[in-house]
């Protein structure tokens, strides 16, 4: 019966592409319209079939991680392409509609990121071995989307370009006080202090990250310019000329968006500028992948722009620039996965084979989500005043803009 139910389920989902499934009893199912390269999946245990039917997202991720579902030649990208490009059909299937409705109804429970729980959620992911992140991140340990204004850029180049693009949007000048919400291993804060003369307060909830960030500040002789703290942004006092948050907003949770932007409002000086860099969805509000929520980012959620702006507007903040990055994160993830795979033997020594399969699944699933679904990156520039930033975007791309034109108010 289980085999019949799954066959019927997959047949209604997969309309395009070519998917071959070998079932635990040795029987084979062919799905799709036969176009493209065939992806061959083998299910090794009957026990996983009910899980696949109940929650395909969670079931597939767990089965691949456990090795009870394998893909010929480990063609995860091919499998994800078929799964995600047939997403419209999947979401139209009645069981998926019920599951999505239930997730949306109760998503506030998954995103209940009060202070103590936020720290636990951060620790789940960011307090893994620091050496693990060294295996696949750039030298500056930027764990967010790189910026690829030119084809063929290497990861380190793209991450440097990202930091300086953000610095331009912040219109940093020497001596400005900057709050870095979610400072990670310190790369953004150190760049703003070293290259732009800013005085930075960086906060994170990760104990592993704060150790590295503080040591980097000491090693670069920037302790007098950068103050890295193990602190919730909600506990930071004082006001700042600039506020930057890169890759942290995904961990705030929809129930706390109003509170988040209230803190941005209160901590930003009257002529200040804030820049929020976050993964987003170019579609209506939704829910977090159940596999990602369980194994990778508990409490995380990728917002729709409408959800963000609905909480920005009551705080009387002005969105002076909104930029949408499309395939930049796909390329970032591709390079992360290539680096991880090249160093997988060391990752296996740090953890085990199951962890490596989980991490590879995470990186490739996210990459293909950016390639085939509405996943994007938003950069939202916020101010109190219309004239706090230049009236055109020329200042972002020109080195010859006169200093007197860099502020519209002057």
Residue 127 pLDDT level (bands cut at 50, 70, 90)? low
Q: Indicate whether 405 pLDDT > 50.
A: no
- pLDDT (0 to 100) of residue 122: 52
Give the pLDDT confidence score for residue 395 in this predicted structure.
92
Q: What's the confidence (pLDDT) of residue 323?
A: 98
> pLDDT band at 299, cuts 50/70/90?
confident
- 28 phi and psi angles, rounded to 5 deg: -125, 135
Residue 160's pLDDT is what? 97
List the chain domain ranges.
Answer: 2-105, 115-405
Which distant-in-sequence residues (6+ apart) come within 8 Å of 358 by Cβ?
A: 65, 295
- Distance CA(326)–CA(373), nearest Å, equals 10
CB 163, CB 142: distance < 8 Å: yes
Greater confidence (406 vs 359) lies with 359
**pTM for this predicted structure:** 0.90
With 90 as the cut, is the pLDDT of residue 410 above it? no
Q: What is the mean pLDDT of residues 240-244?
A: 98
Q: Up-side HSE of residue 285: CA atoms within 13 Å toward CB?
A: 14
CB within 8 A of 147, min separation 6: which ones?
158, 159, 161, 162, 165, 325, 328
Mean pLDDT of 75-104: 70
For 115-405, CATH number out of 3.40.630.30, 1.10.150.20, 3.40.449.10, 3.40.50.150 equals 3.40.50.150
User: What is the share, in percent, of the chain residues with pLDDT greater than 70?
Assistant: 87
Determine phi and psi for 243, rounding to 5 degrees: -130, 130
Residue 100, pLDDT score: 58
Q: How many CA within 13 A on the CB side of residue 214?
A: 11
Q: How confident is the model at residue 116 (pLDDT cuts 50, 70, 90)?
A: low
SS3 call for 67: coil
Identify which of 296, 302, 300 has the alpha carbon closest to the alpha carbon of residue 364: 296
pLDDT of residue 404: 40
Q: Assess whether pLDDT exceeds 60 at residue 101.
A: no
Mean pLDDT score of the chain, rounded to an integer? Answer: 90
pLDDT of residue 107: 55
What is the helix (H) or strand (E) element at residue 382, kind and residue range? strand 375-383
CA R_g for the chain: 23
Residue 77 has pLDDT above 60, yes or no: yes
pLDDT digits (tens, 9 = 90+) for 163-192: 999 999 999 999 999 999 999 999 999 999
Ranking 28-32, 71-75, 104-108 by mean pLDDT, the lowest is 104-108
Mean pLDDT of 106-120: 55
Predicted pLDDT at 123: 52
Q: How far apart are the first and last CA of the chain?
A: 74
Tens of pLDDT, residues 225-238: 999 999 999 999 99
Least confidently predicted of 50-64, 92-106, 157-171, 256-270: 92-106
216 Cα distance to chain centroid:
24
Region 75-90 average pLDDT: 85
8 Å CB contact between 251 and 279:
no
Check whether 129 has a pLDDT greater than 80. Answer: no
pLDDT of the residue at 408:
37
Report the C-alpha gap between 141 and 398 in whole angstroms: 27
What's the pLDDT tens digit per position in 330-388? 999 999 999 999 999 999 999 999 999 999 999 999 999 999 999 999 999 999 999 99
Task: Indicate if the pLDDT at residue 104 is higher than 70.
Answer: no
pLDDT on residue 130:
79
pLDDT tops 60 at residue 216: yes
Which of 328, 314, 335, 210 lies closest to 279, judged by CA? 328
Q: To the nearest whole percent, how much of the chain has pLDDT over 90? A: 80
Among 107-111, 136-140, 199-203, whose mean pLDDT is lowest?
A: 107-111
The answer for residues whose C-beta is within 8 angstroms of residue 312's C-beta and 6 or more apart is 261, 319, 380, 382
The residues that are catalytic are 366
pLDDT of residue 234: 95
Distance CA 368, CA 370 (A): 5
Q: Which residue, among 236, 131, 132, has the nearest Cα to 182 in the 3D structure? A: 236
Residues 33-59 have a mean pLDDT of: 95
């Amino acid at each position: 019966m289980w085999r019949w139910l799954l066959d019927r389920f997959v047949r209604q989902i997969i309309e395009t592409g070519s998917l071959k499934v070998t079932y635990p009893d040795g029987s084979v199912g062919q799905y799709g319209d036969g176009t493209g390269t065939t992806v061959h999946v083998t299910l090794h245990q009957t026990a996983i079939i009910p899980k696949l039917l109940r929650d395909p997202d969670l079931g597939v991720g767990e089965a691949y991680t456990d090795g009870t579902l394998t893909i010929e030649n480990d063609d995860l990208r091919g499998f994800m392409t078929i799964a995600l490009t047939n997403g419209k059909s999947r979401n139209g299937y009645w069981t998926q509609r019920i599951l999505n409705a239930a997730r949306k109804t109760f998503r506030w429970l998954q995103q209940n990121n009060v202070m103590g729980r936020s720290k636990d959620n951060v620790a789940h992911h960011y307090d893994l071995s620091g050496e693990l992140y060294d295996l696949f991140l750039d030298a500056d340990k930027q764990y967010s989307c790189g910026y690829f204004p030119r084809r063929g850029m290497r990861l380190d180049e793209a991450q440097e370009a990202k930091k300086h693009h953000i610095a331009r949007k912040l219109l940093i000048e020497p001596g400005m006080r900057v709050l870095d919400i979610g400072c990670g291993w310190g790369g953004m804060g150190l760049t703003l202090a070293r290259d732009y003369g800013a005085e930075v307060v960086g906060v994170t909830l990760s104990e592993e990250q704060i150790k590295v960030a503080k040591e980097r500040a000491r090693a670069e002789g920037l302790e007098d310019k950068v103050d890295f703290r193990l602190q919730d942004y909600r506990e930071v006092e004082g006001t700042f000329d600039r506020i930057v948050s890169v890759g942290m907003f995904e961990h705030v949770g929809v129930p706390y968006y109003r509170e988040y932007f209230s803190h941005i409002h209160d901590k930003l000086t009257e002529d200040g500028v804030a820049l929020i860099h976050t993964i987003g969805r170019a579609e209506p509000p939704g829910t977090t992948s159940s596999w990602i929520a369980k194994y990778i980012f508990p409490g995380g959620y990728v917002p729709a722009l409408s959800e963000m702006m609905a909480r920005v507007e009551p705080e009387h903040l002005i969105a002076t620039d909104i930029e949408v990055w499309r395939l930049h994160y796909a390329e970032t993830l591709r390079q992360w996965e290539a680096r991880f795979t090249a160093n997988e033997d060391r990752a296996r020594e740090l953890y085990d084979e199951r962890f490596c399969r989980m991490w590879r699944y995470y990186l490739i699933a996210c990459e293909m989500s950016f390639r085939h679904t509405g996943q994007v990156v938003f950069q939202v520039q916020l101010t109190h005043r219309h004239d706090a930033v230049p009236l055109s975007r020329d200042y972002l791309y020109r080195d010859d803009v006169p200093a007197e034109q860099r502020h519209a108010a002057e």
